[in-house]
Structure 1
């Protein structure tokens, strides 16, 4: 028996549902804009997301199977009542469509937001966005953040409530500088990664990506997107 593994970009239509789906993946990205994120860090997030989505590998992945595109939505989150869509649902059917979406994201500016970190609510809101796209074969929610939830429903409660929706929730955790105490980002990353694994991510193939700091956000986001848009296809030859 010879097992052949093919790493390919895009989600291949391996089931009847995927074969006839109008889009192959609904992808929702949630960006943390709570009080712990300053103006510089906010800009690094937005610019980093634009850089990651426009990178060669991710652009190529998004352009795979344009007749069954990835549909993308981006929102910002902070307190329990503070979630704002900055890129509405966009089917990435061509490079001009992607470029228009990137320009819209690039033009986003910092708004007033509540200081709280309502991670559980952000998860619920992101899942509700995914529910708007039953025409997509798979549904993925990405939550980026630099801290633990401190207000609203708890992330573990939200995750339990979403467990039967058939969605994947991945995390991107960001270390922050603590100049007075030295660079503690690695310790923060380890603790926050563990927190996300225990309370946030959902699904068989769910994972946590890490950015050592906001300066590393673009590279971390690109790694995460490449992984999410890649599927391991295997077959047995007898």
Structure 2
């Protein structure tokens, strides 16, 4: 009886699991306009950005859920690293290692941003308990296949999912404006610009800093 009472007491006094503050889906462009070296710049830059001391601290403190999506043309979007709970710096490092080592799935296909958003949207069902839900999409071109990105906006708003974007203006100097008008959506949504792939690592780091350390404000 005394043993049972001790067990029940310890269970009752055990701290509750910390709630997830942020579910962050990282959607990486692997369309035909991205060559092998540019793909490597994206993956290595993203892994380095996640390891930034301030970014990693915020993710661990917020018990974040992270996921990686590779996307290109219609019917070619895939979750390559499923939702991973970042409950320690070791877990964050393991996820960053997976990002850096994630093999490219497709080459030489079109750019279907709307399809990418739709695929990523569906994956949020399993992390509905997270306080904030965010898609971080990077790309170097306008959507030229499949459903238009704006057609997915209503569903994203309904589920409280914010979409931010990183426009890599390697060959399309007006891409930032296109992403602002057609891709981003939700409270506090924003676009970050990179003049080319060489700028991607620093721009994605700053983008992650803004996403994980600041509360969203305003409404697009």
Alignment TM-score, normalising by the size of structure 2: 0.85
Q: Judging changes above 3 Å, is the alpha-carbon distance between structure 1 residues 59 and 161 closer, same or farther for their aligned structure 2 residues?
A: closer
**CA-to-partner distance for each residue in 1:43-99, whole Å, 9 max, x for gaps?**
00000001100112212222324xxx0100011000111112222111110011111
> For structure 2, which runs of at least 5 residues remain unmatched after alignment?
1-15
Alpha-carbon offset, residue 204 of structure 1: 2.1
2:214 maps to 1:231:
yes
Alignment TM-score, normalising by the size of structure 1: 0.79
Q: Confirm or deny: 8 A CA contact 1:78 1:115 kept in the other structure.
A: yes
Q: Which has the higher contact order (CA 8 A, sep 6+)?
A: 1
Alpha-carbon offset, residue 114 of structure 1: 5.2
Structure with the greater alpha carbon radius of gyration = 2
More strand by share: 1
Name the residue aligned to 1:45. Answer: 42
Q: Confirm or deny: 8 A CA contact 1:21 1:137 kept in the other structure.
A: no
Q: 3-state SS of the aligned residue for 1:162?
A: helix
2:144 maps to 1:150:
yes
Name the residue aligned to 2:195. Answer: 212
Q: Among 157, 181, 189, which residue is 1:198 paired with?
A: 181
Q: Confirm or deny: 8 A CA contact 1:74 1:88 kept in the other structure.
A: yes
> For structure 1, which runs of at least 5 residues remain unmatched after alignment?
1-18, 178-187, 234-238
Alpha carbon RMSD of aligned pairs, Å? 1.9
Q: Judging changes above 3 Å, is the alpha-carbon distance between structure 1 residues 109 and 20 closer, same or farther for their aligned structure 2 residues?
A: closer
Determine the C-alpha separation between the residues in 1 that align with 2:215 and 2:143. Answer: 33
Name the residue aligned to 2:61. Answer: 64
Q: Among 103, 117, 121, which residue is 1:109 paired with?
A: 103
Determine the C-alpha separation between the residues in 2 that align with 1:70 and 1:133. Answer: 10
Q: Judging changes above 3 Å, is the alpha-carbon distance between structure 1 residues 112 and 203 closer, same or farther for their aligned structure 2 residues?
A: closer
Matches within 5 A, 1:81-92: 81-92=75-86
Q: 3-state SS of the aligned residue for 2:92?
A: helix
Alpha-carbon offset, residue 162 of structure 1: 2.6
Matches within 5 A, 1:159-198: 159-176=153-170, 188-189=172-173, 191-198=174-181
Aligned residues: 201
Alpha-carbon offset, residue 109 of structure 1: 2.3
Question: Is 94-103 or 159-168 further displaced after alignment?
Answer: 159-168
Q: Confirm or deny: 8 A CA contact 2:161 2:186 kept in the other structure.
A: yes
